Amino acid sequence: MNIKLINKNIADIKADIKVEFLTPDELKKHKEFKLLNLTGFKAEQDSICFLHEKGLLFCGVDSKKSDDIRSATTSMIKALKSSNYESAVFGALKANSLAAMVEGVVLGGYEFNDYKSKPKENKLENIFIASNELDYKKLKTIFKDALIISNATCFTRDIVNTAPQELNPLSLAYLAQRLADENSLECEIFAEDELKKQNMNAMLAVGRASIHQSQLIHLAYKPKKAKKIISLVGKGLTYDSGGLSLKPSTSMVTMKMDKAGACSVLGIIKAVSELKLDIEVHAFIGAVENMVGGDAYKPDDVLVSRSGTTIEVRNTDAEGRLVLADVLDYAQEKVDADAIFDFATLTGACMVALGQYTTGVMGHSHKLKHEISKAATASGELTGSLPFNKHLKKLIKSEIADISNVSSKPYGGAITAGLFLDNFIKDENKDKWLHFDIAGSAYTETPWDCNVYGATGASVRFMSEYLKNI
């Protein structure tokens, strides 16, 4: 399916069907009100109504704000895909909702069909957006950027959705290498022999029972006149069985998503390089599979992490923080960045705290958190701050090592996980670092907003928005 912005009036663009977005107030004044009223259409948010004989499709919205338009465009694209129409046209409303329209079409219309022997067919080929009389040049830039970011989000979704027997640490490394080749990025990959030389013992312990070797992936986008340097770190658990602290079978299903942080980081660097932003971006990924076996790491083990901090393992299912401990340490030594962001499906507790839809944001810098919150609101993603405090910090103390990998109390699990990571952030970087827990936001089994079943690509949009505005 193609989506095009056309510098013409909507009446001059030929398409099978014309789409209009209507608020309930606009509906009452519309010239088709009588007919629409007969069908029972009330212009409620996300409801749709075809007037086939007139070649019209109406989409209800609460308002013309971006969030409502994105969601309504998602309903629109789903309806069009299950119709027989080959093309549709609608007008760009305002510059600031154009990106939301693109997101609705691309992200709301996304399907992952790699494992379907007979994917559902649809005839929809072209979506045209008429610029009407708005400033075409400005719209064109917004359109192009939104398309790059939406496609990068779909790229992230595709990798997360790929089954774990196909997507393992090595195949993730190959995939990163391919992205690097296509987008002219630098790429360095460390297999286990190099990880041993690097003393990345916490990361290595997590992957030890897997038949797949753990991999450290480092991609870099280095434009000539970079104004800032940003490091992104991603949790890449290609499968999280829980290890010897085995997950219950129902919780294990969907744990292919535990690589979502890594996939987001790949999507972000893809977007940044295609947007040609003037910032240097590094992506560091710890790609590991957490399995069971005779040589699996155990509760009671004490690991000596790359930084030298010793970690008492009390639960092998709290493995993401062990991998990130070493990768964060490596990333800080390798690159002197202006900001360091990590992305991880780290805790079920984050979902308990904020709900399934919201990314948890943790860190010391209020300024950085505020900037991220602004970017997230503009992008249509949901983020919420989870505050650190010294009392929760005490809960990850260990009697026998420097730190324990789980908290001694059951509450505040997302924050104690964030505080665990904080132990691996160097003093000089404390105010440059934020941790994003995407455990809830990265994957969904029920569609919401422009997210369909499966991976959502959470954090690609808000991070691209943030980096665009640096």
The token pair that represents 7 in the structure block: 């510098």
Count the neighbouring beta carbons within 10 Å of the beta carbon of residue 62.
15
Candidates 247, 374, 393, 468; catalytic one: 247
CB of 450 to ligand BES, least distance (A): 20
Lookup result for tokens 């992490």: 305
From 13-21, 80-88, 235-243, 393-401, give the range in contact with Zn ion by CB under 5 A. Answer: 235-243
CB of 244 to Zn ion, least distance (A): 11
437 binds Zn ion (CB under 5 A): no
Q: Is 247 a catalytic residue?
A: yes
Q: Is 314 a catalytic residue?
A: no
Cβ(270)–Cβ(158) under 8 Å? no
Which of 87/305 has CB closer to ligand BES? 305
**Residue 433: what are its φ and ψ, rounded to 5°?**
-110, 140
CB of 286 to ligand BES, least distance (A): 13
Which of 246/275 has CB closer to ligand BES? 246
Residues within window 397-426 making contact with ligand BES, judged by CB under 6 A: 406, 413
Interface mask (CB under 6 A) for ligand BES, residues 323-362, using x and -?
----------------------xxxxx-------------
The token pair that represents 352 in the structure block: 């308990």
Candidates 18, 235, 321, 461; catalytic one: 321
Count the neighbouring beta carbons within 10 Å of the beta carbon of residue 24.
13
Cβ(382)–Cβ(441) under 8 Å? yes
CB of 421 to ligand BES, least distance (A): 13
Which of 11/302 has CB closer to ligand BES? 302
CB of 243 to Zn ion, least distance (A): 7
240 binds Zn ion (CB under 5 A): yes
320 binds Zn ion (CB under 5 A): yes
The token pair that represents 243 in the structure block: 């290890």
- How far apart CA 234 and CA 214 sit, in angstroms, is 14
Element (H, E) at 263: helix 260-275
Cα 158-458-257 angle, rounded to 5 deg? 55
Element (H, E) at 111: none
Minimal CB distance to ligand BES: which residue?
348
Which of 299/447 has CB closer to ligand BES? 299
CB of 299 to ligand BES, least distance (A): 10
- How far apart CA 128 and CA 89 sit, in angstroms, is 5
Q: Packing angle between helix 260-275 and helix 460-468, nearest 10 degrees?
A: 40
Count, residues near ligand BES per rule CB under 6 A: 15
CA 298 from centroid of its chain's CA atoms: 31
Interface mask (CB under 6 A) for ligand BES, residues 248-267, using x and -?
----------x---------
- How far apart CA 433 and CA 363 sit, in angstroms, is 6
The binder of 127, among Zn ion, ligand BES, none, by C-beta within 5 to 8 A per type, is none
Which of 109/236 has CB closer to ligand BES? 236
Interface mask (CB under 6 A) for ligand BES, residues 368-387, using x and -?
--------------------
The binder of 373, among ligand BES, Zn ion, none, by C-beta within 5 to 8 A per type, is none
Residues within window 247-266 making contact with Zn ion, judged by CB under 5 A: 258
Helices marked H in 127-198: 136-161, 169-182, 192-197
- How far apart CA 453 and CA 433 sit, in angstroms, is 31
The token pair that represents 342 in the structure block: 């990590």
In the set 67, 68, 145, 240, which binds ligand BES (CB under 6 A)? 240
Cβ(261)–Cβ(347) under 8 Å? no
- How far apart CA 401 and CA 390 sit, in angstroms, is 19
CB of 314 to Zn ion, least distance (A): 13
Q: Packing angle between helix 136-161 and helix 95-108, nearest 10 degrees?
A: 30
Residues within window 190-209 making contact with ligand BES, judged by CB under 6 A: none
- List the beta strands (DSSP E) in 214-274: 215-221, 228-240
User: Which residues here bind ligand BES, judged by CB under 6 A?
Assistant: 240, 258, 315, 317-320, 345-349, 406, 413, 439
Which residues does the annotation mark as catalytic?
247, 321
Binding site for Zn ion (CB under 5 A): 237, 240, 258, 317, 319-320
